[in-house]
Amino acid sequence: MSPQQRLTLVEKPERRFALTLVAPGVLVLAVTTTFPLVFLLWQSLQNINLAMPGMERFVGADNYVRMWGDARFWAAFAFTIIYSGVTVSLQLVIGLGMALVILQIPRAQWAFRMAAILPIVLAPVVAGLFWRSLMLTPDFGIVDFASRSLGLGSHNWLGDPTLARVSVIAIHTWQWTPFVFLYMLAALAALPADLYEAARIDRASAWRRFVHITLPLIRPAIVVVVILRITVALSAFAAIYAATGGGPGTVTEIINLYAYRVSFVELSLGYGAAAAVVLLVLTMLVAGLLFRIRR
Amino acid sequence: MTSRRLRTLALMAVGACLLAIWTVPILLAVITSLKDEKEVLAYPPTLWFTPTLKAFDAVLFGPTNILGDLATSLIVAIATTVLTIVIAVPAAYAFARLKLPGRKPLGFYVLATQLVPPIGLIIPYFLILNRIGWMDSYRGLVLIYMTFSLPFAIWLLVSYFEDIPREMEEAALIDRASRWQALWHVVLPQARGAIAVTVIFVFLNAWNEFLFAVVLGGANVRPVTVSMYNYINTEQTQWAQLAAAALMAMLPVIVLGLAAQKHIVNGLTAGAVKGVGRR
């Protein structure tokens, strides 16, 4: 028997076995995800309005053309970029900073890990509700109380357009910074200690050690965490929905909320599908770009 | 006091602030849930008051209690978890360990499905489930929950399977164990920890899901995340009851989160350690 033949004798059953094991998962994903997405694309080319059943018809690219001229869509598009850009940057800077600080504290690190878990396991809809009621309600929300006590006055945190945007960004940042913190803590803890020793002997300052040694070493972890956080931020829904519902008016709408309201409040499912397709493409583009940077 | 100790103290102070910021909304909810509805609206907010369990009594045993919705959440989350694990474990094993034909494109496919924004699925699901009569049903909800739990579980399990040593498995195969026997008797026992972590994550995500539940659920199948929202939608919000209901709804995940804190951190950061140090 030639080595070639022996190889195929061993490999063939293994390949078949591997395919058998993967098949159910891939089939389920094809049925539950790929098929609905194809249907979504088809929907986005239709005029479907649930308020007018029986009027469905193929309209080609009409929904996309309409979206191109829709100021509300562009506002949602812009706020999607701002929302994910700002929340992810804040999460990264604060989370990494916190991890660096906490690593210096010799004791009670478990307390920080415990506390960090709390926002992460909280359902985003509950986080949104807690902030809307207990934190931000004028007069008896704790943030408003603090603002009044500091002489900054009472504010309509979720009713004023600018403050509402700041608030939904703050809520998302509050909930997910602990994730980045834990991620960075793990990455930093895995760094070899001897590198620092060498740098310390060279009398490098703490800032230079961070920029020239730590940062390059944890760069892969940073890229991964940014990918994870951006994809979540792009499809954030429940916290904004619970806190402002996209309002006042439409100012806190990200594309995700915009597509939801168009589809399920205004009942234009075709037009909403087109908005969802745009978000899908945007997510894939951003993720693809970041994956490329990673290499 | 040495400067070193001073520095430690300063760091502790910074750390304490962070702890406060992370826990304040939850602590506030606990305090509010123990107040009388009138007490909640007092200004300035009171910290000393006579605690009452009235709000908990109302949300658990009152006419609009959440017990039924809690049970619904439990059924949906458990069904999703069981199905996901049964399908994801073999798939992840094949990805991590076997000579899988088309491994790269298949792996890429699983990763890509994880990136799909939920809004892109909920719109077609709404029409499809309406058409086949699966709206407001457990089947429909579990089906769509698989779309986020399955890719996530496969991806997480692959990273764990890659770390399990191959020796015992190879020894079993040399001893003429079948592939299935080796997987069942040798690999799975070693992967128990990884599977436990995955179970926790899938359960948490299914329990906390909101968008799919609010659109595809209804009077029959209404997970507790949706009933939460109803507390604030009423004309006059009952703050103490909202806080009590939210705490009851979050009790399972908070307990799970704190009890399995180590495993959760482990799972969250599964990718963090591997890439570190490589330039």
Model ipTM?
0.91
Output the pLDDT for position A209: 82
Are the Cβ atoms of A130 and B93 closer than 8 angstroms?
no
Contact predicate A127/A119, CB 8 Å: yes
Within-domain flag for B59: no
pLDDT digits (tens, 9 = 90+) for A156-167: 899 899 999 999
Output the pLDDT for position B264: 84
**Tokens 């502790």 identify what position?**
B12
Of A147, A132, A145, A149, whose CA–CA distance to B45 is shortest? A145
Give SS3 for B46: coil
Q: What distances in angstroms separate CA B72 from CA A150, B141, B142, B231, one per listed residue?
A: 45, 11, 11, 18
How high is the mean pLDDT of chain A? 89
Where in the sequence is the domain holding B31, given as residue range(s)? 3-54
Contact predicate B212/B145, CB 8 Å: yes
Q: Within this chain, do residues B20 and B70 fall inside the same structural domain, yes or no? A: no
Structural tokens at position B23: 């826990």
Residues 206-225 of B with CB under 8 A from A: 207-211, 215, 225
Contacts of A106 in chain B (CB under 8 A): 8
Of A166, A145, A133, A128, whose CA–CA distance to A242 is shortest? A128
Query: What is the nearest CA distance from B116 to chain A, expressed in angstroms?
Result: 6
Output the pLDDT for position A210: 85
Within-domain flag for B245: no
Query: What is the nearest CA distance from A163 to chain B, expressed in angstroms?
Result: 19
Report percent pLDDT > 90 for chain A. Answer: 57
Q: Within this chain, do residues B13 and B105 fall inside the same structural domain, yes or no? A: no
Q: What distances in angstroms separate CA A124 from CA A130, A293, B13, B224, one per listed residue?
A: 10, 30, 29, 13
| Assessment of whether the complete model's pTM goes beyond 0.80 | yes
Q: Within this chain, do residues B88 and B213 fall inside the same structural domain, yes or no? A: yes
More confident residue, B48 or A129: A129
The chain A residue lying nearest B239, using CA atoms, is A133
Q: Within this chain, do residues B16 and B43 fall inside the same structural domain, yes or no? A: yes
Are the Cβ atoms of B100 and A18 closer than 8 angstroms?
yes
Q: Within this chain, do residues B37 and B81 fall inside the same structural domain, yes or no? A: no
* HEC assignment per residue over chain A: CCHHHHHHHHHHHHHHHHHHHHHHHHHHHHHHHHHHHHHHHHHCCEECECCCCCCCEECCCHHHHHHHCCHHHHHHHHHHHHHHHHHHHHHHHHHHHHHHHHHHCCCCHHHHHHHHHHHHHCCHHHHHHHHHHHHCCCCCCHHHHHHHHCCCCCCCCCCCHHHHHHHHHHHHHHHHHHHHHHHHHHHHHCCCHHHHHHHHHCCCCHHHHHHHHHHHHHHHHHHHHHHHHHHHHHCCCHHHHHHCCCCCCCCCCCHHHHHHHHHHCCCEHHHHHHHHHHHHHHHHHHHHHHHHHHC
**Tokens 């992460």 identify what position?**
A120
Contacts of A22 in chain B (CB under 8 A): 90-91, 94-95, 100, 106
pLDDT-derived band of residue A126, with 50, 70 and 90 as boundaries? very high
Residues 140-199 of A with CB under 8 A from B: 140, 142, 145, 174, 178-179, 182-187, 190-192
Q: Within this chain, do residues B30 and B70 fall inside the same structural domain, yes or no? A: no
Q: What distances in angstroms separate CA B229 from CA A74, A231, B15, B25, B251, one per listed residue?
A: 29, 25, 33, 17, 17
Q: Within this chain, do residues B33 and B97 fall inside the same structural domain, yes or no? A: no
Residues 259-278 of B with CB under 8 A from A: 261, 264-265, 268-269, 271-273, 275-278
Q: Within this chain, do residues B105 and B135 fall inside the same structural domain, yes or no? A: yes
Contact predicate A14/B99, CB 8 Å: yes
The chain B residue lying nearest A177, using CA atoms, is B22
Report the alpha-carbon angle A217-B264-B103, nearest 5: 70
Give SS3 for B175: coil
The chain A residue lying nearest B154, using CA atoms, is A25
Report the alpha-carbon angle A182-A107-A180, nearest 5: 10
Output the pLDDT for position A217: 87
Are the Cβ atoms of A117 and B275 closer than 8 angstroms?
no
Q: Does A105 touch chain B (CB under 8 A)?
A: yes
Within-domain flag for B224: yes
Per-residue pLDDT of chain B (279 residues; tens, 9 = 90+): 577 788 888 888 888 888 888 999 999 999 999 998 888 877 777 777 888 898 999 889 988 889 999 999 999 999 999 999 999 999 999 999 888 999 999 999 998 999 999 999 999 999 999 999 999 999 999 999 999 999 999 999 998 888 888 888 888 888 888 888 888 888 888 888 899 999 999 999 999 999 999 999 998 999 999 988 777 765 567 888 899 999 999 999 999 988 988 888 888 777 666 544 433
> In this structure, what DSSP letter does residue B45 have?
P
Q: Within this chain, do residues B73 and B201 fall inside the same structural domain, yes or no? A: yes
**Tokens 């990494």 identify what position?**
A96
The pair phi, psi for residue A268, each rounded to 5°, is -90, 85
Within-domain flag for B101: yes
Output the pLDDT for position B179: 84
Report the alpha-carbon angle A242-A245-A247, nearest 5: 135
Q: Within this chain, do residues B188 and B84 fall inside the same structural domain, yes or no? A: yes
Q: Within this chain, do residues B83 and B213 fall inside the same structural domain, yes or no? A: yes
CA B118/CA A282 separation, integer angstroms: 14
Within-domain flag for B267: no
Q: Is B255 exposed, middle or buried (0-12, 13-18, 19+ CB in 10 A)?
A: exposed
CA A241/CA A128 separation, integer angstroms: 8
User: How many domains in chain B?
Assistant: 2
Q: Does B82 touch chain A (CB under 8 A)?
A: no
pLDDT digits (tens, 9 = 90+) for A191-227: 887 776 766 667 777 788 888 888 888 888 898 899 8
pLDDT-derived band of residue A2, with 50, 70 and 90 as boundaries? low
Q: What is the mean pLDDT of residues A70-76?
A: 96
Q: Where are the domains of chain A?
A: 3-43, 71-294
Q: What is the mean pLDDT of residues A168-188?
A: 94
Beta-carbon contacts of residue A248 (< 8 Å; ≥ 6 apart): A158, A159, A160, A161, A164
Output the pLDDT for position A133: 87
Output the pLDDT for position B143: 96
Q: Does B244 touch chain A (CB under 8 A)?
A: no
The pair phi, psi for residue A47, each rounded to 5°, is -100, 105
Q: CATH classification of A71-294 is 1.10.3720.10, yes or no? A: yes
Q: Within this chain, do residues B187 and B123 fall inside the same structural domain, yes or no? A: yes
Within-domain flag for B219: yes
Output the pLDDT for position B277: 40
Output the pLDDT for position B276: 45
Within-domain flag for B251: no
Within-domain flag for B138: yes
